[in-house]
Amino acid sequence: MISNFGKSNKKKGKKTIVIMSIPGVVEFPWSNDVDAIIADFYGGEQMAPALLNILYGDVTPSGKLPVTLQKTENDEKITPEQYPGVDWTSTYTEK
């Protein structure tokens, strides 16, 4: 749904911003189809005014995310040998 909406807006010359109120890491393989993504997690009672300030350009968001957001489930290409391991042994490698 988000992918289709973003692609449709791009064809019309419009921008799409997705605001995600999420508890933690989620997948978003549609990220190339939208112009911006805001992850506000659970921001509390002042999140709405803060988002408006960002969307209208009154402030520049400069916070650091507490997690790394991946586009797909295994973006980092972790192998089964690395995690969870084989025969109770995990092997550290870099590829």
pLDDT of residue 22: 84
Helix (H, G, I), strand (E, B) or coil at 50: helix
Q: Which residues of the chain register pLDDT less than 50?
A: none
pLDDT of residue 66: 72
Which among 67, 81, 58, 54 is positioned nearest to 26, based on CA atoms? 67
Its pTM surpasses 0.85? no
pLDDT of residue 25: 75
Backbone φ/ψ region at 66: left (φ over 0), alpha (ψ -120 to 50), beta: alpha
pLDDT of residue 87: 92
